[in-house]
Structure 1
Amino acid sequence: MKKRHHFLILFLLCFVGYSARSQQATETRLGTLPELSLHRGHTVHILSPEPIQYVDIASHHVSGDLPLENVLRIKLNEDTTQTEHLDYELGTITIVGDNFVAQYRLTVPLWISDTSIPAMLEIRPEHTRPLEISEIGLSRSQMKNLALGLLTKNVHRAVRSTRDYGVGIALNGISTIGDYIFLDVSFTNTSNLSYNVDELRFFIEDKKITKATNVQTVEIKPLWQYQPLTEFKKRHRNIFVLKKATFPGSKVLRVTLTEKQISGRTVNLKIKYGDILKADTF
Structure 2
Amino acid sequence: MKHVVYISVLALSVHHLASAQVADSMKSATRNTATSQTMRLDSIRKRVGAGNAVAPSAVTPGVAISVPERPGLSTQGEVPVFSYGSLPIQDHNVVRSYYLDLAFNKTTCIIFKSPIRSVDLGSKDIIADKANAVDNVLRVKASSIGFNETNFSVMTSDGQFYSFVVNYNEYPTMLALDLSVNEEGLVQQKARFVNQKGTVVSFAGVNTSQQEIVQNCSSIMEHNRRVKHIGINKYDIQASLRGLYYKDNVLYYKIGVKNKSNIRYDLDFIRFFIVDKTLAKETSHQELEVIPLYVYNQPLVIIPGQKSVEKIYVFQKFTIPDDKVVQVIMGEKNGGRTVTFTMANQDILDADIL
TM-score bin, normalised by smaller chain: 0.5 to 0.7
TM-score of the aligned structures, taking structure 2 as reference length: 0.43
Q: How much has 1:210 moved relative to structure 2? A: 9.4
> Where does residue 24 of structure 2 map in the other structure?
none
Q: 1:194 Cα shift?
A: 1.0
Q: 2: CA distance between counterparts of 1:162 and 1:191?
A: 15
Are the counterparts in 2 of residues 184 and 237 from structure 1 also a CA contact under 8 Å? yes
Deviation string 1:50-103 (CA, Å, 9 cap, x unpaired) is xx8369xxxxxxxxxxxxxxxxxxxxxxxxxxxxxxxxxxxxxx9x99989798
Cα distance per residue 1:13-44 (max 9 Å; x no partner):
xxxxxxxxxxxxxxxx99239xxxxxxxxxxx
Alpha-carbon distance change, 132 to 192 in structure 1, aligned in 2, over 3 angstroms: closer
State the number of aligned residues.
179
Distance in structure 2 (CA, Å) of the matches to 1:97 and 1:167? 47
Q: Which residue of 2 aligns with 1:149?
A: 219
- Alignment CA distance shift 1:252-1:97 (3 Å): same
Corresponding position: 1:32 with 2:92: yes
Paired residue type of 1:31:
D
Contact 1:206 1:215 survives alignment (8 Å): no
How big is the shift at 1:127? 5.6
SS state at 1:208 partner:
helix
What secondary structure sits across from 1:184 in the alignment? Answer: strand
SS at match of 1:174: strand
CA distance change for structure 1 residues 240 and 165 in 2, over 3 Å: closer, same or farther?
same
Alignment match of 2:240 (pick from 170, 182, 190)? 170
Residue of structure 1 in register with 2:266 after alignment: 196
Out of 117, 123, 133, the position equivalent to 2:182 is 123
Letter in 1 for 2:353: T
| Secondary structure of 1:144's aligned partner | helix
Name the counterpart of 1:46.
Answer: none
Residue number in structure 1 paired with 2:302 = 231
Deviations 1:133-152 (A, max 9, x none): 96563211010011111111
Structure 2 partner of 1:278 = 350
Higher relative contact order (CA 8 A, sep 6+): 1
Q: 1:189 to 1:100 in 2, by over 3 A?
A: farther
CA distance in 1, matches of 2:303, 2:259: 8
Q: Who is 2:328 aligned against?
A: 255
- Kindly tell me: are residues 230 and 210 of structure 1, through their superposed partners in 2, closer, same or farther at Cα, counting changes over 3 Å? closer
SS in structure 2 of the partner of residue 149 of structure 1: helix
Q: Secondary structure at the match of 1:150?
A: helix
Whether contact under 8 Å (2:280, 2:325) holds in the other structure is no
Structure with the higher strand share, 1 or 2: 1
Alignment deviations for residues 168-187 of structure 1 (CA, whole Å, 9 cap, x no partner): 11111111123321101111
Is the 2:231–2:239 contact (alpha carbons within 8 Å) kept by the matching residues of 1?
A: yes
User: Which residue of the partner structure matches residue 20 of structure 1?
Assistant: none
Equivalent residue number for residue 315 of structure 2: 242
CA 1:155–1:134: 2 relative to 1, 3 Å: closer
Query: Aligned partner of 1:253: which letter?
Result: V
Q: Give the residue type in structure 2 aligned to 1:188.
A: K
Secondary structure (helix, strand or coil) at the match of 1:264 reads coil
SS in 2 for 1:191: coil
Equivalent residue, structure 1, for 2:111: 53
RMSD: 4.1
The Cα shift of 1:281 comes to: 1.5
Identity across aligned pairs (percent)? 25
